[in-house]
Structure formats: structure tokens, C-alpha cells
Amino acid sequence: MIVRAPVPDLLRPLSAVPDPVFAGELVGPGLAVEPGPGAGVAVSPVDGRVAALHPHAYVAVAGGRGVRVHLGVDTVRLDGAGFAPLVEVGATVACGQPMVRWDPVAAAAGGLRLICPVVALDATASDLSAPASGPGRAASGSPIPCQGRYFGGGAVGR
């Protein structure tokens, strides 16, 4: 399965997320995207089904594998302000389809970090390896350059 960037810009290791739950891979392995300009719409990282949806986070499932996207760190504190879900739980989504419209400028103004964890659920570190070349850049909807059975192997979602 190929997982694509839900928001554009700088790819970071999950350890760069200033939250011990994500940085410690307690939710699962993955990486993060530090969003830049134009990050006001987060897209589905895979072709699949919306399994969970919150204003600040969502899970898309493809082939029995879930990918969680969390828009910023501690953004749950905003209680939905500045976020507008564009899909519903149970909906079938295409890779790159808009999932949530959000206001990263307002979140940053509120003192929240914008870095977005992208996590492989029900996976282990051996299912995913980060790119050896270090941080890179990704356009929204572009493949995340990771290897492993979870993020890099198998058929492209679209």
C-alpha cells in the first residue's frame, strides 16, 4: 500500500512530533508532515473508507490497514474551531480526496504546533521504515517515500 501525504511540505520523522504518544510510536509507526502554505485542506492518504472522523483527526482504512492523520499537536483543545470535516464516517474516499478543511494559521496563533503525524495503525516498526535520506518535501497527495510492507509495498492506491 502506498500512503500519500495528507498535507503539503516538509516530511519529518515521528520522533520530531512534540507529543510523547506520537514520538514514542505508541499509536503506531509512521512519520509526520510539517505543513507549509496551502495546507488548509487535508486529503485522504489512501483509497479506502473513513473509519473515524474528528474535526482535528481522521482514520482512512484500505485493505484492512488503517492510517491515522492528526492535524497538528494538541489541536483537540480547539474543540473543533477552525476545522470543517468534508466527509462522513463510512464514506468511500479516493486518495487525495479532501477530508477536512482547517485553519493552520489560527491553530499556530493559538500556540499549537502544526506538525501532522501520519500513523500506520495496527502495525509494528518492522512494517515501516522511514526514508534513509532524511527529511524531504511532499506535495499534498504525493507518495510518502517510505519503505516496508505498510507504507511502501503493494499497489498504488490511485
**For residues 102-141, b (16+ Cβ closer than 10 Å) or e, as one string?**
bbbeebeeeebbbbbbbbbbebeeebbebbeeeeeebebb
pLDDT attached to residue 149 = 47
Q: How confident is the model at residue 158 (pLDDT cuts 50, 70, 90)?
A: very low
Q: How confident is the model at residue 83 (pLDDT cuts 50, 70, 90)?
A: very high
Alpha helices, H only, the chain: 20-23, 104-109
Give the cell for residue 50: 473513513
Question: Active-site residue 70, yes or no?
Answer: yes
Q: Which range scores top for mean pLDDT: 80-84, 125-129, 149-153?
A: 80-84
* pLDDT tier for residue 39 given thresholds of 50, 70 and 90: confident
Q: Using one digit for the tens of pLDDT, what is the confidence trace for 14-32?
A: 999 999 999 999 999 888 9
- The predicted pLDDT at position 107 comes to 87
- State the average pLDDT for the chain: 84
Instruction: Encode pLDDT of 91-108 as tens digits.
Output: 999 999 999 999 988 888
The pLDDT assigned to 147 comes to 46
Residue tagged active-site, from 3, 44, 70, 120: 70
